Structure 1
């Protein structure tokens, strides 16, 4: 099952520092997700000025429980980078 995740960063003064500190661990986790067939695509959400304000990921998990288990250990969650996370089932267009 595919899921699309839009995660918005905290906006306090230390938010960017937390993001940058957690970023190598987040990328390592994404590489592991990809190796295990769970990562479809993702990247940074940007403000109109080009500043990182969050993340978007499309992930593939057998069920939502597995998605939640991954998310509970995600460095951007444990490192308090993402404040608000919106997750929806996703159907990729077959064109």
Structure 2
């Protein structure tokens, strides 16, 4: 099942510092997801000035429990980077 994730960063003064402190671990985790076939695409959400304000990912997990296990352990969650996380099932257009 495909899921689209929109995750928005906290907006306090230390938010960007927390993001950058765990960014390499987050990316390493995304690379592992990709090698396992779970990562479809993703990247940083930007504001109009090009500043990172969150993330978007399209992931593929057989079971919702696998999605939640990964998400609960992602460095952006455990490192208090993401404030609001919206996860929705996603159906890719077949065109």
Interval of TM-score (by shorter of Structure 1 and Structure 2): over 0.9
Q: TM-score, normalised by structure 2?
A: 0.98
Deviation at 1:32, TM superposition (A): 0.2
Deviation at 1:64, TM superposition (A): 1.1
SS in 2 for 1:71: helix
* Structure 1: distance between partners of 2:60 and 2:48: 29
Deviation at 1:50, TM superposition (A): 1.1
Q: How does 1:8-27 map to 2 (within 5 A)?
A: 8-27=8-27
Deviation at 1:94, TM superposition (A): 0.9
Q: 5+ residue gaps in structure 1?
A: none
1:81 match: 81
Deviating runs (4+, > 6 A) in structure 1?
none
Q: TM-score, normalised by structure 1?
A: 0.98
2:56 match: 56
* Structure 2: distance between partners of 1:44 and 1:71: 16
CA RMSD of aligned residues (A): 0.5
Deviation at 1:49, TM superposition (A): 1.4
1:7 match: 7
Q: 5+ residue gaps in structure 2?
A: none
* Structure 1: distance between partners of 2:20 and 2:56: 17
